[in-house]
Structure 1
């Protein structure tokens, strides 16, 4: 039992370290999909923010419903330099949700998944 505990402890530490450190180096530059959707447009800075000029797929994009969520844009509350913390929180939330789902599945009655046999078998 102790070996298993050490494995999970090392796994958790490595996961949180990678999420915290690697996430802080995430680029804010557009990725390939963003670049492809911006083809044919030019981003123009205005007093109201950025505006797309031209004809491209990105002009038809809408704001995501979770754009104002606490971890949107790989940052905590939109603050610069918090990508590492956002990565750690993301890992913790993912592990909690997945762990809860697996726990519920494991607690399900074992006979519930078995098909019922025909009468007279």
Structure 2
């Protein structure tokens, strides 16, 4: 097996595992508030919190707008997040990859 085939297989398996974790494991994520929200509730300053500037975005609060089932909505948001990060990181790596100097290609 060539190195290229091995690398492609690794990438495909890693992508499938990432999508599976984002889409399925998020179904079992805790509905309890995170640490900061918990401390804010316990100390009494939760009411002074303001909404994020992105609170009205389609993927706000780890949910997908337009999907009523909270767990399915979270799973879809996770899958979209994995795919967006894949596109961004691939684009970044493509931009900064090392290129062979023109002289060494002969």
Gaps in structure 1 of 5+ consecutive residues: 41-55, 111-121
> What is the number of residues matched between the two proteins?
95
Provide the alpha-carbon RMSD of the alignment.
2.1
Distance 2:100 2:52 in 1: 39
Q: More relative contact order in 1 or in 2 (CA 8 Å, sep 6+)? A: 2
On the 8 A contact 1:26/1:83 being kept in 2, the answer is no
Q: TM-score, length-normalised on structure 1?
A: 0.69
The secondary structure found in structure 1 opposite 2:19 is: helix
Kindly name which structure, 1 or 2, has the bigger radius of gyration based on alpha carbons. 1
For residues 13-72 of structure 1, give each alpha carbon's deviation from its aligned partner in whole angstroms, at most 9, with x where no partner exists.
1111111111122222212211100124xxxxxxxxxxxxxxx22222111011111111
Instruction: Tell me the SS of whatever aligns to 2:31.
Output: coil
- In 1, Cα distance between the equivalents of 2:50 and 2:98? 41
* TM-score calculated relative to the size of structure 2: 0.77
Which of 44, 64, 82 pairs up with 1:76? 64
Match of 1:35 among 38, 47, 50: 38
3-state SS of paired residue (1:24): helix
The runs of 5 or more residues in structure 2 that have no matched partner are: 102-106
Which structure has greater helix proportion?
2
Which structure: greater strand fraction? 1
